[in-house]
Amino acid sequence: MSYDTILSTTNNGITTITVNRPNKLNALNKVTIEELHKAFKAANKDKQTKVVIITGSGEKAFVAGADISEFADFDVKNAEKLAGEGQKMLFDYIENLSTPVIAAVNGFALGGGLELAMACHFRVASDNAKMGLPEVSLGVIPGYGGTQRLPQLVGKGRAMEMVMTAGMIDANKALDYGLVNHVTSQEELIALAEKIASKIMRNSSVAIKGAIKSINANYKDGVDGYKTEIKQFGKCFGTEDFKEGTTAFLQKRKAEFPGK
């Protein structure tokens, strides 16, 4: 599939999706959000894809936010629609994807850009990365899940301060906060994400799917995460991957998971 504002390539089990509007610091406009949805959907369906990495084009930005020029003249109704549809189509969609998604934050991740990174299953960053939710400096609040996911990742007090000050934190502070899992140089960033992806790929994709669902259940209103875990744990016992994993262990060999 070809896109206007993103790139998507698949190699060795990894689909790398790149937001490709470097002249606008990869800001997310309507088309980009729709194309990202399509690319994630296609990657999740693709049997070759075991892990998705999302990054930004160029050396300056991951994504510098939602495209401000697109919503500057919105009214209350349009703004609610923008946030509601965007959350459903992209941010919640990524969070609940059964294929693991790693954000490789290669520069500015601001507003919708940080919200995009936070919707991914985890994040790695380059040492030049800068992260923040600057929306209140524009007279608005984060609308793509930022007020919910930032406190989940860094704690309520830090999230309050970041949102209220509209400030940016650097990669090392983000590491200290637990917002990103690893920091490396910009040149090494994709290689690092791919190295982690290759470790993930050695494991059972069906078990990973159940684990993502169970971990996410902890953060969903009205859902009992322990019950979700029990259900998903049980489900594993009916899979070919479980048979292969346990048999391989007992036979002292490496498991070759069929992914079923």
Look up residue 233 and give its two tokens: 């744990």
Instruction: List for the chain the helix, strand, coil content (%; round to 5).
Output: 50, 15, 35
From 35, 95, 135, 194, the catalytic residue: 135
Q: Would you say 86 and 51 are in contact if contact means Cβ atoms under 8 Å apart?
A: no
* 115 interacts with ligand COA by CB under 6 A: no
Residue 111 within binding range of ligand COA, rule CB under 6 A: yes
Residue 52 vs 89, nearer CB to ligand COA = 89
Q: What is the C-alpha radius of gyration for the chain, rounded to an integer number of angstroms?
A: 19
Residue number with CB closer to ligand COA (110 or 196):
110
Which of 27, 39, 101, 197 touches ligand COA by CB under 6 A? 27
Distance of CA 206 to the CA centre of its chain: 19
Query: Does 24 interact with ligand COA (rule: CB under 6 A)?
Result: yes
Among the listed residues 53, 83, 73, 67, the one whose alpha carbon sits nearest the alpha carbon of residue 25? 67
Q: Which residue has tokens 């934050």?
A: 105
CA–CA dist 158, 170 (Å, integer)? 14
Site string for ligand COA, 64-83 (x = CB under 6 A): xxxxxx--------------
| Residue among 55, 108, 123, 212 that touches ligand COA (CB under 6 A) | 108
Q: Which residues bind ligand COA (CB under 6 A)?
A: 24-25, 27, 64-69, 108, 110-112, 134-135, 138
